[in-house]
Amino acid sequence: MGSRFIVLDGPDGCGKTTQARLLVNALEQAGVEVMHTHEPGGTPAGERIRQVLLDPATGELDPLTEALLFCADRAQHVSTVIKPALDQGKTVVCDRFASSTAVYQGYAGGLGFEPAQRLNDIATGGLQPDLLIVLDIDLAHARERMDEERLDRIEQYTEDFHDRVRQGFIEYARLLGERAVVLDGNRPVDEVHEEIMQIIESGWKPDPRAK
Ligand code: TYD
């Protein structure tokens, strides 16, 4: 089996990290060499960028500044972690990726999809996921999963912003066509996991990188 790049993304509190872990375990048990990573912060420098982005003490950031910081994290992550792993034939499962910048800064933050995508293209060198799994969730349900006392700088954005994030992910997945799926993340963890495994097992298309 060739290398695959799978991204899990969605609004805050959608359960993507739990699902990514379950997916990684299942793939490992099936004998797939898999690496689990995340953004922001999948590298040592990225961890520092993450702190700037998520610490409420940073204060307000212009969406362009925010996007550039997420893209700086992404450029480092792609070149030093994701690409080397894919080149070694590993499957990479990543929590959040370019989709988050397109949606949070581009769609919800007002920078616009297009400018956000241009920055993403520079940061990723054109690398795109083979499959983007978006977990859609009701805002109220998502809030229940979050610790109100310890919301990070972006989680503290208005409800309106997070509504647009939810919309933005659906719109983004639509633009991506068959390389993206939107799943109902309001359901029990096991049910969502089962659906993800069905998609991976049945829709496991030939690796576009393999010649
Ligand atoms: P994440 O690490 O998924 O949050 P947590 O670990 O708390 O579940 O993401 C941190 C926040 O950063 C989240 O609110 C989404 C936001 N974000 C963007 O706004 N743009 C981006 O490009 C990325 C990668 C994340």
Give me the domains of the chain, ranges plus CATH numbers: 5-203 (3.40.50.300)
CA distance 36 to 42: 10
Cα(175) to centroid of ligand 1, in Å? Answer: 21
Give the per-residue pLDDT at 2: 67
Name the closest-CA residue to atom 4, ligand 1: 12
What does the pLDDT look like over 153-185, one tens digit per residue? 999 999 999 999 999 999 999 999 999 999 999
pTM here is: 0.94
Residues within a 6 A CB radius of ligand 1: 12, 39-40, 54, 70, 95-96, 100-101, 104-105, 152, 154-155
Kindly report, residue by residue over 64-112, the tens digit of the pLDDT: 999 999 999 999 999 999 999 999 999 999 999 999 999 999 999 999 9
Please tell me the predicted confidence (pLDDT) of residue 47: 98
Alpha-carbon separation of residue 148 from 18, 60, 111, 151, 155 (angstroms): 19, 19, 27, 6, 9
- The two three-digit tokens of residue 107, written as one number: 């769609």
